[in-house]
Amino acid sequence: MPLQPKPTIKAAQGKLGILLPGMGAVATTFIAGVHAVRQGIGKPIGSLCEMGTIRLGARTDNNVPTIREYVSLAELDDIVFGGWDLFNENCYEAAIEAGVLEKELLESLKEPLSAIKPMKAVFDQSYVKRLRGEHVKTGTSKMDLAEQLMEDMKSFQKDNGCDRLVVVWCASTEVYREPTSVHATLANFEEGLRNSDDEIAPSQIYAYACCKLGVPFNNGAPNLSVDIPAIQELARETQTPISGKDFKTGQTLMKTILAPGFKSRLLGINGWFSTNILGNRDGEVLDDPGSFKSKEVSKLSVLDSVLQPEKYPDLYKDLYHKVRINYYPPRGDNKEGWDNIDIFGWLGYEMQIKVDFLCRDSILAAPLVLDLALFSDFAKRAGMHGIQEWLSFYYKSPMTPEGLYPEHDLFIQLAKLKNTLRYTVGDDLITHLGAEYYE
Ligand SMILES: NC(=O)c1ccc[n+]([C@@H]2O[C@H](COP(=O)([O-])OP(=O)(O)OC[C@H]3O[C@@H](n4cnc5c(N)ncnc54)[C@H](O)[C@@H]3O)[C@@H](O)[C@H]2O)c1
Q: How far apart are CA 98 and CA 95, in angstroms?
A: 5
247 CB-near residues (< 8 Å, 6+ apart): 26, 220, 221, 364, 365, 368, 369, 394, 395, 396
Cβ atoms 222, 282 nearer than 8 A: no
- Looking from the CA of residue 29, the nearest atom of ligand 1 is 16
Residue (of 86, 304, 73, 380) closest to 206 by Cα position: 86
pTM of the model: 0.95
Class of domain 251-358: alpha beta
What 427-431 contacts at long range (C-beta under 8 Å, 24+ apart), as own/partner pairs, is 427/3, 427/56, 427/57, 428/3, 428/56, 428/57, 429/1, 430/55
Pocket test for ligand 1, best of 20, 23, 26 (most atoms within 8 A of CB): 26
Bridge-partner residues for 395, per DSSP? 247
Query: What is the Å distance from ligand 1's center to 93 Cα?
Result: 16
**Cβ–Cβ contacts within 10 Å for residue 280, how many?**
23
What residues does CATH 3.40.50.720 cover in the chain? Answer: 15-247+363-425
Chain-centroid distance of CA 189 in Å reads 24
Please give the pLDDT value at position 372. Answer: 98
- Supply the pLDDT for residue 7: 66
Strand 268-278 and strand 336-344: the pairing is: antiparallel
Cα–ligand 1 centroid distance for 215 (angstroms): 20
Out of 168, 203, 218, 282, mutate this one to test ligand 1's pocket (max ligand atoms within 8 Å of CB): namely: 282
Question: What are the Cα distances from residue 387, in Å, to 3, 178, 235, 315, 436?
Answer: 21, 19, 9, 32, 37
User: Which residues are near ligand 1 (CB < 6 Å)?
Assistant: 21-27, 84-87, 98, 121-123, 128, 131, 170-173, 202, 220-221, 246-247, 249-250, 280-282, 285, 361-362, 364-365
Ligand 1 atom at minimum distance from 21 CA: 33
CA–centroid distance, 8 to ligand 1, in Å, is 36
Q: Which CATH class is domain 15-247+363-425?
A: alpha beta
**Ligand 1 mean position, distance from CA 287 (Å):** 14
- The DSSP element (H or E) to which 423 belongs, if any, is helix 410-425
- Number of neighbouring beta carbons within 10 Å of residue 283: 21
Angle between helices 361-381 and 25-38 (to 10 degrees): 70
Give me ligand 1 centre to Cα 244, in Å.
14
Taking only the tens of pLDDT, the chain with its 439 residues reads 445 545 688 999 999 999 999 999 999 999 999 999 999 999 999 999 999 999 999 888 999 999 999 999 999 999 999 999 999 999 999 999 999 999 999 999 999 999 999 999 999 998 998 888 889 999 999 999 999 999 999 999 999 999 999 999 999 999 888 999 999 999 999 999 999 999 999 999 999 999 999 999 999 999 999 999 999 999 999 999 999 999 999 889 999 999 999 999 999 999 999 999 988 887 888 888 877 887 777 777 889 889 999 999 999 999 999 999 899 999 888 889 999 999 999 999 999 999 999 999 999 999 999 999 999 999 999 999 999 999 999 999 999 988 898 999 999 999 999 999 999 999 989 887 777 777 7
CB burial readout 154-177, b (16+ within 10 A) else e:
eebbeeeebebbbbbbbbbbbbbb
Distance 172 CA to ligand 1 centre (A): 3
Question: Residue 315: its pLDDT value, please?
Answer: 98
- Provide CATH 3.30.360.10 ranges for the chain: 251-358
| Ligand 1: residue whose CA is nearest its atom 42 | 221
Q: How far is the CA of 24 from the centre of ligand 1 (A)?
A: 6
**What is the DSSP secondary structure assignment for residue 198, as one 8-state letter?**
T
Helix (H) or strand (E) holding 341: strand 336-344
| Residue-level length of the chain | 439
Atom of ligand 1 nearest to the CA of 286: 43
Q: Say how many Å lie between the CA of residue 400 and the centre of ligand 1.
A: 23
The residue whose CA is least distant from atom 25 of ligand 1 is: 22
Q: Listing from the earlier edge strand, what are the strands of the sheet with 217-219?
A: 119-120, 79-85, 15-21, 162-169, 217-219, 241-244, 386-387
